[in-house]
């Protein structure tokens, strides 16, 4: 983030610049003052909502997607914030920066600059609501971990293993006496610090906007309060290139909200977000209708990942399996599968054309710090396997992959005639016949997804070929066209 | 079997007596002569179809279910076989003999004498079509194995790993030139020898009447030929107390046959069978409508055994999982899961109120003798675990068990307030809270279903109790009311 007064400043493409003006403080600036700025380069204009940051400070954050000069001019319902103009210069991004993640139609993701993106994700719902020390620990673990996406809530969580009060509240006031029309800028500053850290680590922040596990009233605000919150979130967070919008964790458990409410939330964000970050919503049981135009991808909670290709066909959008039970040993069914089973589900997801974003960890420990809720340290055996899966897939021709022959024999993820990935899960064939294209030679690897070993088979292969396998579970075969 | 001439002979209840008369040999006795006998004790009469056994020999087999004198008299469309009368005396059965298995309404099985029966089954489709030496080997293995039910075909099988010709054919003639109106008594004698051996080992023979894997024409006979075959089968086999009728393996793959055909087959056997042996039909994909009155229980092929309680509720009959993929290492998906996964599916089936009859084994071997097809020896790790499961369940209050709280938390198989079996599968909780009834003390066992260990926890338990588990998969907890 480049902090700037109104005037000519520079910012790198896909970073953001924050422009600040002083304005009215009387009554309630959060609800009474409309304010923002337009940014223009050449004949193109981007309209960006601003936000009140307390203490008379009004801000606009802008993330340019194109290098060059951008002229800006503020608009507002108050004179003091109207017509402030100037320009900024957007410079080329660092080579490591690829912009926001977008859908690569129809079934995959890529960065704004066209670089492929294969999401490998985890969940730490309330990690930003823990102590600063614990949050720092979580960041240090994420830094070395395999994940490039994390699911996290704006609001704190009230649930098993989640009984502590947060460090900050989104609203002014205190439990039992919140003012849902006045935001607490300090809470956002702390939250944004973490989003910026994730961004700098190359981790997408899948921001969960609402959720049902609430004792503070955040799940049961009025429609007007919900809408105010959405506008404020977008104004503050959209300039972070790594933001994804997840309208809820388990939307279907929020009984006060109707389908019309969820539709409206999507449309508000779709209209307000200058950058069109990814948008979806996570279910408990019933799915939201992901065919709706404002949904960019399908966020799924489901144990039966063998249905990934069905959902892909049903919704014609990328399918991310954000939850399929976590590795752990608590007694809740959603949090006690083995690492082997979680890894199996994520490979199965992958070869059926979905994305393995369902990591989470729920091991009991004396400190009562479970990764899925609070972050902290990782104790399980699956993260190393997620890293291995990510490495395998980042070597693949992402964007051209489709599951073939699903339902018959084994699923195979393939780029037709060029790249094939067979996965066997708990199946343990000791032979396997593959019909490779006869017009080219393929190099073939035997992959042990649990032992994380890739064994290159001798020679090259072409046409119908019988492979021998070790007769143990969790194996895969990869065949890649060579010249 | 007691062989008897017409006259007073003795037979034990649930064994059978075979009565024989000489009759016409001209033209086709199989189709032209109707013949049978009525057996009467007190005011009760049982009508039993007879069969032509070749060489002018006509036979009736009768399995009494009640001790005492039974008078008989033959009936026929020919004079020579009409009105032959006499009596037999049925004696009390040996203490080890409990009679045919019946449905214990609504969801379980029991023997005719009321003794409980918990089916633990395997499949050897074509074992009686192998060499005599191999069949003898199979019997010797079954003798020491855990299975009390076996799925087996009347007809030979044409399929992968099943290319050899059978020792005998059901019909006169030879491949390409069978007479589907003339049976081959020698083939039945050989088949019946094996059914009798199974009976004497306490193993139910789940006789598969039709199947689609055919190169001889047995799957595509005319309706009249099918019906003749059904009548002949019942006349020969119904007197074996251990017979179950399975109208098909994968009925839905037999495209020449309609639902009306299957309905008719059921009704023919339902009408002809004096003993009302169990009747069902096995599917590939689509289920037969098991709600129909003539279906006694639900025979399922499906991998997703988590649906057992759904099928139970849907059909209101006992659910046997006859196929859910076999332990093995062939490349077909239905025959290459790990022993761990097969055992998990069978425990999952059990705690959801179904029955674990889905053992089968498909390990490649140089002799090309795969248990699932041909019998022979068992190579896998699951049979010992089937034995363990059977032992655990035979200690249970069978007949009063229902799956409770399925869908919420973990399934538990329970006799209300008295007996509970929790199973965790690939889940590995290290604590688990159980609400035991507060008005009694329970003894509790920790069961390792893979290691086959039962560990009695110290003391007794009552009311809400938290158990500690080892945090590994495939565990179960059993709580039994003690006084």
Q: Of B324, B411, B426, B471, which to mutate for an interface test with A (greatest number of A Cβ within 10 Å)?
A: B426
What is the predicted pLDDT for the residue at A105? 84
Which CATH number is associated with domain B417-482? Answer: 2.60.40.3950
Using a CB-CB cut-off of 8 Å, the residues of chain A touching B427 are 333, 336-338
Say if residue A322 is exposed, middle or buried (CB neighbours under 10 Å; 0-12, 13-18, 19+).
buried
Q: Is the pLDDT of residue B3 over 60?
A: no
Res. B6 pLDDT band, cuts 50 70 90:
very low
Tens-place pLDDT, residues B340-391: 999 999 999 999 999 999 999 999 999 999 999 999 999 999 999 999 999 9
Which residue on chain A is closest to B407 by alpha carbon? A333
Residues of chain A with CATH 2.60.40.10: 2-91
Res. A6 pLDDT band, cuts 50 70 90:
very low
What is the predicted pLDDT for the residue at B409? 58
Tens-place pLDDT, residues A14-30: 999 999 999 999 999 99
Res. A365 pLDDT band, cuts 50 70 90:
very high
Task: Quote the strand ranges of A364-440, DSSP E.
Answer: 402-404, 412-415, 419-423, 431-435
- CA angle B330/B335/B338 to nearest 5° reads 95
Res. B13 pLDDT band, cuts 50 70 90:
very high
CATH superfamily of B101-394: Glycosidases (3.20.20.80)
Which residue on chain A is closest to B408 by alpha carbon? A333
Q: Is the pLDDT of residue A124 over 50?
A: yes
| CB spacing of B428 vs A329 below 8 angstroms | yes
Q: How does DSSP assign A184-229, residue by residue?
A: -HHHHHHHHHHHHHHHHTT-EEEEEEE-S--SSSTTS--HHHHHHH
Tens-place pLDDT, residues B143-160: 999 999 999 999 999 999
Tens-place pLDDT, residues A342-352: 999 999 999 99
What is the predicted pLDDT for the residue at A49? 98
Q: Of B326, B334, B336, B363, which to mutate for an interface test with A (greatest number of A Cβ within 10 Å)?
A: B336
Q: Is the pLDDT of residue B406 over 70?
A: no
pTM, entire model: 0.92
Structurally, what CATH architecture does the domain formed by A2-91 represent? Sandwich (2.60)
Q: Which of A409, A410, A430 sits opposite B329 (nearest CB)?
A: A430
Three-state SS for A468?
A: strand
| CB spacing of B410 vs A333 below 8 angstroms | yes
What is the predicted pLDDT for the residue at A409? 58
| CB spacing of B409 vs A341 below 8 angstroms | no
Q: Which of A304, A329, A427 sits opposite B471 (nearest CB)?
A: A329
A145-156: burial string, b at 16+ Cβ within 10 Å, e else: bbbbbbbbbbbb
Separation CA A347–CA B476 (nearest Å)? 28
Using a CB-CB cut-off of 8 Å, the residues of chain A touching B333 are 409-410, 427
**Positive/negative CA dihedral, A418, A423, A424, A430:** positive
Using a CB-CB cut-off of 8 Å, the residues of chain A touching B429 are 329-331, 336
How close does chain A come to B331, measured CA to CA in Å? 5
Res. B8 pLDDT band, cuts 50 70 90:
low
| CB spacing of A432 vs B338 below 8 angstroms | no
Q: Is the pLDDT of residue B44 over 70?
A: yes
Tens-place pLDDT, residues A415-464: 999 999 999 999 999 999 998 999 999 999 999 999 999 999 999 999 99
Q: Is the pLDDT of residue A218 over 60?
A: yes
Residue B291 DSSP class:
T
Average per-residue pLDDT in chain A?
A: 96
Residues of chain A with CATH 2.60.40.3950: 417-482
How close does chain A come to B145, measured CA to CA in Å? 24
| CB spacing of B337 vs A471 below 8 angstroms | no
Separation CA A418–CA B346 (nearest Å)? 40
Three-state SS for B233?
A: helix
Interface TM-score (ipTM) > 0.85: yes
How close does chain B come to A388, measured CA to CA in Å? 22
Average per-residue pLDDT in chain B?
A: 95
Residues of chain B with CATH 3.20.20.80: 101-394
Tens-place pLDDT, residues B153-200: 999 999 999 999 998 999 999 999 999 999 999 999 999 999 999 999
Separation of CA A274 from chain center: 18
Tens-place pLDDT, residues A388-411: 999 999 999 999 999 987 555 568
Res. A261 pLDDT band, cuts 50 70 90:
very high
Summarize the confidence of residues B204-210 as an average pLDDT.
98
- The helix or strand, by DSSP H or E, that contains position B186, with its residue range, turns out to be helix B185-200
Using a CB-CB cut-off of 8 Å, the residues of chain B touching A409 are 331-333
Using a CB-CB cut-off of 8 Å, the residues of chain B touching A304 are 304
Summarize the confidence of residues A367-371 as an average pLDDT.
96
- Binding-site residues on chain A for chain B (CB distance < 8 A): 304, 328-333, 336-338, 340-341, 364, 409-410, 424, 426-433, 471, 473
Contacts of B307 (CB under 8 A, 6+ apart): none
């Amino acid at each position: 983030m480049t902090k700037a007064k109104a005037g000519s400043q520079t910012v790198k493409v896909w970073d953001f610049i924050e422009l600040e003006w002083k304005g009215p403080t009387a009554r309630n600036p959060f609800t009474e003052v409309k304010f923002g700025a337009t940014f223009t380069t050449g004949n193109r204009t981007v309209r960006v909502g601003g936000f009140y940051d307390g203490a008379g400070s009004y801000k606009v954050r802008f993330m340019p997607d194109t290098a060059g000069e951008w002229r800006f001019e503020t608009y507002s319902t108050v004179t003091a914030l109207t017509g402030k103009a100037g320009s900024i210069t957007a410079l080329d991004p660092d080579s490591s920066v690829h912009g926001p993640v977008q859908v690569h139609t129809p079934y995959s993701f890529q960065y704004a600059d066209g670089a492929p993106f294969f999401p490998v994700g985890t969940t730490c719902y309330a990690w930003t609501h823990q102590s600063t020390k614990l949050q720092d620990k979580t960041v240090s673990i994420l830094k070395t971990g395999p994940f490039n996406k994390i699911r996290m809530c704006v609001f704190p969580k009230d649930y098993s293993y989640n009984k502590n009060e947060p460090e900050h509240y989104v609203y002014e006031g205190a439990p039992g006496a919140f003012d849902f029309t006045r935001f607490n800028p300090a809470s956002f500053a702390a939250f944004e610090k973490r989003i910026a850290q994730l961004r700098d680590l190359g981790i997408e922040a899948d921001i969960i906007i609402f959720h049902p596990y609430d004792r503070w009233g955040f799940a049961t605000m009025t429609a007007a309060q919900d809408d105010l919150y959405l506008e404020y979130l977008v104004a503050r967070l959209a300039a972070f290139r790594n933001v994804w919008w997840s309208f809820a964790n388990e939307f279907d458990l929020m009984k006060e909200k109707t389908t019309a409410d969820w539709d409206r939330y999507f449309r508000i964000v779709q209209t307000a977000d200058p950058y069109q970050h990814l948008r979806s919503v996570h279910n408990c049981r019933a799915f939201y209708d992901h065919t709706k135009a404002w949904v960019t991808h399908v966020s799924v909670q489901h144990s039966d990942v063998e249905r990934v290709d069905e959902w892909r066909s049903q919704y014609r959008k990328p399918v991310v399996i954000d939850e399929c039970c976590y590795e752990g040993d608590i007694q809740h069914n959603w949090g006690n599968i083995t690492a082997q089973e979680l890894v199996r589900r994520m490979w199965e997801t992958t070869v059926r054309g979905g994305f393995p974003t369902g990591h989470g960890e729920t091991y009991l420990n004396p400190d009562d710090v479970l990764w899925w809720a609070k972050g902290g340290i990782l104790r399980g055996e699956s993260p190393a396997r997620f890293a291995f899966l990510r490495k395998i897939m980042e070597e693949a021709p992402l964007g051209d992959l489709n599951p073939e022959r699903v339902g018959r024999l084994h699923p195979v993820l393939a780029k037709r005639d060029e790249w094939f990935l067979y996965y066997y899960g708990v199946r343990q064939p000791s032979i396997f016949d593959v019909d490779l294209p006869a017009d080219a030679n393929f190099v073939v690897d035997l992959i042990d997804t649990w032992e994380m070993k890739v064994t290159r088979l001798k020679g090259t292969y072409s046409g119908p070929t019988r492979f021998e396998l070790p007769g143990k579970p969790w194996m895969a075969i990869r065949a890649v066209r060579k010249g």
